[in-house]
């Protein structure tokens, strides 16, 4: 791709993401305060759009080269993909907006001719890291009513899983305990997975993006 075509593509991307930010403001305006506070996806959309537009502007002003710009696109793509996978209960309009932004990012990267990988490790974006209450209870049932500890292995509690397996679910008492607390245990596991992702996200941001401005949009 020659420089003229490259610049045309970048200007198009700039307009797309500026419009995306306008759409973001429109969507956020209709959300309740509780939805705004509970959704990390909303924050990620805001931060990603700010950073992408700021980096596009920096490139057009000759402050960063095209490779650095593409790195930023790949980085924000990884962030949004990860947050979208985690945002199972987010507002549908917010999720649709995130998906549209990802489509635009993918189109830009494809046309710019880059196949770089996301900077966020796949294991933190994989929805399989989240556990299901239905599966946990199914494993409790097929594991002789929890005495074999299958539900514990599923929740990655390998120590107690082995203990349950060796002692018949801690002589049945642990199996009964799991019957009444599996839902809570699944929720706790998923919270830990989400926390690890956000810790990694903050670490990656500090490492990859230095000097990010707080407010690109006036």
pLDDT value of residue 122: 44
pLDDT value of residue 206: 47
Gap between the Cα atoms of 71 and 23, Å rounded: 25
pLDDT value of residue 71: 84
* Residue 60: domain span: 3-119
The residue that leads in pLDDT, 68 or 201, is 68
User: Does residue 40 share a domain with residue 83?
Assistant: yes
pLDDT value of residue 175: 93
Other CB atoms within 10 Å distance of the CB of residue 70:
18
Token readout for 16 is 């797309």
Residue in the structure block whose two tokens are 């994989």: 126
The string of pLDDT tens digits covering residues 46-79 is: 888 888 888 888 888 888 888 888 888 888 888 8
Quick check: is 125 in a domain?
no
- Among 66-75, 82-91, 93-102, the minimum mean pLDDT is found in 82-91
Domain-terminating residue out of 119, 141, 168: 119
| pLDDT band at residue 217 under the 50/70/90 scheme | very low
Gap between the Cα atoms of 56 and 25, Å rounded: 20
- Among 75-79, 95-99, 138-142, 201-205, the minimum mean pLDDT is found in 201-205
Gap between the Cα atoms of 170 and 149, Å rounded: 9
Gap between the Cα atoms of 35 and 89, Å rounded: 10
Residue in the structure block whose two tokens are 């294991």: 123
User: Does residue 178 share a domain with residue 94?
Assistant: no
The terminus-to-terminus CA distance of the chain in angstroms comes to 34
Burial of 38 (0-12, 13-18, 19+ CB in 10 A): middle
Number of domains in the chain: 2
User: Does residue 173 share a domain with residue 115?
Assistant: no
Can you tell me the mean pLDDT for 167-195? 88
Cα of 146 vs its chain's centroid, Å? 32
Domain-terminating residue out of 119, 149, 181: 119
Gap between the Cα atoms of 69 and 10, Å rounded: 10
User: Does residue 145 share a domain with residue 70?
Assistant: no
Domain-terminating residue out of 84, 119, 154: 119
pLDDT value of residue 155: 92
Instruction: Report the sign of the C-alpha dihedral through residues 58, 52, 74, 129, in that order.
Output: positive
| Whether the Cβ atoms of residue 24 and residue 45 lie closer than 8 Å to each other | yes
| pLDDT band at residue 214 under the 50/70/90 scheme | very low
User: Does residue 179 share a domain with residue 149?
Assistant: yes
User: Does residue 203 share a domain with residue 145?
Assistant: yes
Nearest 10 degrees: Cα torsion 184, 203, 78, 31: 60
């Amino acid at each position: 791709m020659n420089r003229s075509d490259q610049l045309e593509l970048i200007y198009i991307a700039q307009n797309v993401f500026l419009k995306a930010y306008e759409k973001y403001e429109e969507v956020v305006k209709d959300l309740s305060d509780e939805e705004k506070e509970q959704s990390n996806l909303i924050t990620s959309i805001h931060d990603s759009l700010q950073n992408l537009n700021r980096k596009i502007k920096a490139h057009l002003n000759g402050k960063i080269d095209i490779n650095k710009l593409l790195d930023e696109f790949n980085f924000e793509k990884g962030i949004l993909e990860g947050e979208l996978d985690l945002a199972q209960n987010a507002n549908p309009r917010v999720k649709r907006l995130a998906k549209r932004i990802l489509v635009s990012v993918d189109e830009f990267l494809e046309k710019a001719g880059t196949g770089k990988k996301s900077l966020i490790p796949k294991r933190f974006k994989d929805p399989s890291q989240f556990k299901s209450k239905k599966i946990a209870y199914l494993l409790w049932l097929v594991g002789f009513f929890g005495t074999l500890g299958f539900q514990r292995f599923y929740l990655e509690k390998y120590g107690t899983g082995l203990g349950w397996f060796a002692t018949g679910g801690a002589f049945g008492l642990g199996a009964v305990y799991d019957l009444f607390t599996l839902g809570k245990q699944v929720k706790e596991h998923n919270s830990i997975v989400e926390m690890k992702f956000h810790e990694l996200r903050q670490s990656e941001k500090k490492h990859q993006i230095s000097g990010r401005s707080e407010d690109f949009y006036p």
